[in-house]
Amino acid sequence: MQLISVEQLCTLLKFALNRLKTMPGMEPFTKPVDTTEFPTYCDVVVHPVDFTSLERNIKRKFYGSTEAFSSDARWIVHNSVIFNGANSKVTSMARSLVKILKQDMSEIETCPDCYMNAHQKPNSWFTEAC
């Protein structure tokens, strides 16, 4: 993996998170669980994570690696299994989220410049040498 600064990493993580936000089925993870609608959520989930908390941590430059970001994102699956059950539709979407992130993190690790260009220059990134 090419060494990049925390600033650069956080820029790339923003792209990955923004991509997830636009994917169908990700709505349950975009904001914190509404505890007025699900009052027992806080009784069973000890570390709530959603896209807003991931985004906040990116802005704070909390993540020093793709693994740290992925580790936080995996809490979404864990929490969904605990609260919704292993076979629920929401948990299935959470697992999809982690698969997508795994691919994006691999792309970031392989070539951060290519990943950056793919998001900043979507029409021409593949024609430029990194």
CA dist., res. 20 & res. 33, Å (int)? 18
Q: Let me know: does 91 contact 78? Beta carbons within 8 Å.
A: no
Q: pLDDT tens-digit profile of 59-83? A: 999 999 999 999 999 999 999 999 9
What pLDDT was estimated at residue 99? 96
Residue 58 located in a structural domain: yes
In a domain, 27, yes or no: yes
Whether 93 contacts 27, CB under 8 Å = no
The DSSP secondary structure of 68-95, one letter per residue, reads HHHHHHHHHHHHHHHHH-TTSHHHHHHH
Whose tokens are 């410049």? That residue is 113
46: containing domain: 6-127
CATH number at residue 84: 1.20.920.10
Region 27-44 average pLDDT: 96
pLDDT-derived band at 129 (thresholds 50, 70, 90) equals low
Confidence of residue 126 (pLDDT cuts 50, 70, 90): low
At 118, the pLDDT band (50, 70, 90 cuts) reads: confident
Q: What is the dihedral of CA 97, 102, 107, 110, to 10 degrees?
A: 170
Q: Model confidence at 119, in pLDDT bands (50, 70, 90)?
A: confident
φ/ψ of 80, rounded to 5, equals -65, -40
88 Cβ contact partners less than 8 Å away, ≥ 6 residues apart:
80
Question: Region 72-99: what's the mean pLDDT?
Answer: 97
Q: Kindly state whether residue 39 falls inside one of the protein's structural domains.
A: yes
Question: Does residue 1 belong to any structural domain of this protein?
Answer: no
Res. 111: pLDDT tops 80: yes
